[in-house]
């Protein structure tokens, strides 16, 4: 990794993935050429993949897309991705609620800023709520002022609340909601409020809103300290530690690789009707226990898997799996990277850049 940092070059896995993203999305990406784009949350997992796409395209275009990226820590971003320190990616000091946009036009906005990791939510649910709601209001005001061409709000599958265990996959028209008495619902409820704000600004000011509702992902640039099951397993496996399942392992989720995720986001931004919402993720269910076994299988060493508690007999497992048929039918979205390959690519990237071993 040291040589990559010194040369400020894109990691080979990212290079391959982004080339595939550009080929899959296709001509729609031409709409970005020469434009001015605001990406909030641009230094996080989702945002970094979006910036990788734009930087890759700009290296091939005569008229680059200039991107403005609010961040509370420009220094951390520069350490994380030094090859993205470029004239066409402009960092704006400040968080999503208070950044100053320059005296320039703004053609498109992707609003992805939100503290989503379990540790932050457990520590400061009120801060999570205000950041999401107030930040969305701030960005929508800018969108109305600048009369943007298109606006993508990156919401969350958490807006549906707890998925009924008998419901195999959650569709976009499911009308459930988070438990309002539970502070841990803060993230999902704040995202619901932010979606309502988007609808209000679309109706009153004509902001051309599109909505993505991401579920669960795996891939390079995930925060290994965030407390998600898949990143915990990968980290523990590379360190030679047992893979710890903190409950009974029956919870069912699905995992989509980062490059498939970013294909979906670009297509939703550039190809969909105003006001339309799309689930983003994989619809292939997998239990947390099976996920641990999948991670163990791609490691080159023997690892133990420990389960904290025994399953309750006769109880249906919790689920968090999207119905992605709308994206398949309307946008041609599909999973091109299966979970086995996704885990292998993520592990390979982690070995190179995360200094875990």
How do the domains of the chain map onto residue ranges? Answer: 2-217+256-282+322-339
Integer CA distances (angstroms), 279 to 35, 169, 172, 285, 301, in order = 27, 11, 6, 15, 36
Helices 229-238/339-353 angle, 10° precision: 60
Question: The CATH number of 2-217+256-282+322-339 is which of 3.40.50.720, 3.20.20.120, 2.30.42.10, 1.10.10.10?
Answer: 3.40.50.720
Location of structure tokens 């091109």: 336
Residue 132 sits at φ, ψ, to 5 deg, of: -65, -50
pLDDT value of position 2: 41
Average pLDDT over every residue of 178-198: 91
Which tokens is 124 given? Answer: 């400061």
Residue 278 sits at φ, ψ, to 5 deg, of: -135, 130
Strand partners, 108: 37, 150
Specify the range with the lowest mean pLDDT, choosing from 51-55, 228-232, 331-335. Answer: 228-232
Contacts (Cβ under 8 Å, ≥6 apart) of 302:
none
Location of structure tokens 């993949």: 49
The pLDDT of residue 8 is above 80? no
Counting Cα atoms < 13 Å in the Cβ hemisphere of 69 gives 27
Judging by beta carbons within 10 Å of its beta carbon (0-12, 13-18, 19+), is residue 200 exposed, middle or buried? middle
pLDDT value of position 227: 84
The pLDDT of residue 223 is above 90? no
Q: What tens digit of pLDDT does each residue of 126-145 get? A: 999 999 999 999 999 999 99
Beta-carbon count within 10 A of 114 CB: 24
**CA-to-CA distance for 93 and 71, rounded, in angstroms?**
5
Specify the range with the lowest mean pLDDT, choosing from 71-80, 129-138, 166-175, 281-290. Answer: 71-80
| pTM metric for this prediction | 0.94
Location of structure tokens 């919870």: 251
The pLDDT of residue 28 is above 50? yes
**CA-to-CA distance for 172 and 158, rounded, in angstroms?**
12
Among 60, 64, 58, which Cα is nearest to 35's?
64
Angle at CA of residue 281, ends 280 and 284, nearest 5°: 145
Q: β-pairing, 108-111 with 150-154?
A: parallel
**Range of 112-116, 237-241, 330-334 with top mean pLDDT:** 330-334
Integer CA distances (angstroms), 269 to 190, 200, 218, 328, 340, in order = 22, 19, 22, 15, 28
Which tokens is 216 given? Answer: 């669960």
Which tokens is 356 given? Answer: 């875990």
Q: For the chain, what is the total number of helices (H) and then of strands (E)?
A: 12, 13
Integer CA distances (angstroms), 203 to 112, 206, 208, 212, 274, in order = 21, 6, 9, 19, 11
Among 337, 347, 117, 80, which Cα is nearest to 236's?
347
Residue 256 sits at φ, ψ, to 5 deg, of: -110, 135
| CA-based max dimension of the chain | 62
The pLDDT of residue 116 is above 80? no
């Amino acid at each position: 990794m040291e040589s990559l940092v010194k040369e400020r070059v894109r990691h080979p896995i990212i290079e391959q993935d982004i080339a595939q993203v550009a080929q899959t999305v296709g001509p729609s990406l031409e709409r970005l050429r020469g434009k001015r784009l605001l990406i909030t949350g641009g230094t996080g997992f989702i945002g970094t993949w979006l910036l990788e796409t734009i930087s890759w395209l700009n290296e091939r275009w005569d008229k680059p897309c200039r991107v403005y990226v609010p961040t509370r820590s420009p220094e951390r971003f520069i350490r994380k991705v030094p090859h993205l320190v470029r004239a066409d990616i402009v960092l704006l000091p400040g968080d999503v609620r208070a950044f100053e946009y320059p005296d320039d036009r703004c053609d498109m906005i992707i609003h992805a800023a939100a503290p989503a990791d379990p540790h932050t939510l457990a520590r400061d649910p009120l801060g999570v709520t205000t950041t999401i709601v107030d930040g969305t209001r701030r960005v929508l005001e800018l969108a109305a002022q600048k009369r943007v061409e298109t606006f993508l709000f990156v919401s969350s599958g958490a807006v549906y609340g707890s998925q009924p265990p008998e419901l195999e996959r959650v569709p976009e028209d499911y009308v459930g909601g988070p438990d309002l008495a539970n502070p841990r619902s803060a993230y999902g409820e704040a995202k619901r409020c932010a979606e309502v704000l988007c609808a209000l600004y679309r109706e009153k000011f004509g902001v051309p809103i599109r909505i993505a509702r991401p579920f669960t992902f795996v891939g390079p640039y995930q925060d290994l300290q965030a407390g998600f099951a898949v990143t915990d397993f990968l980290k523990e496996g590379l360190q030679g530690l047992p893979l710890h399942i903190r409950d009974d392992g029956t919870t069912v989720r699905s995992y989509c690789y980062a490059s498939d995720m970013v294909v979906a986001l670009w297509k939703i931004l550039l190809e969909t009707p105003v006001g339309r919402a799309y689930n983003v993720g994989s619809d292939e269910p997998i239990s947390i226990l099976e996920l641990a076994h999948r991670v163990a299988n791609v490691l080159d060493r023997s690892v133990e898997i420990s389960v904290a508690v025994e399953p309750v007999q006769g109880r249906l497992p919790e689920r968090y799996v999207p119905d992605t048929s709308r994206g398949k039918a309307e946008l041609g979205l599909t999973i091109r990277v299966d979970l086995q390959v996704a885990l292998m690519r993520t592990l390979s990237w982690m070995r190179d850049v995360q200094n875990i071993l």
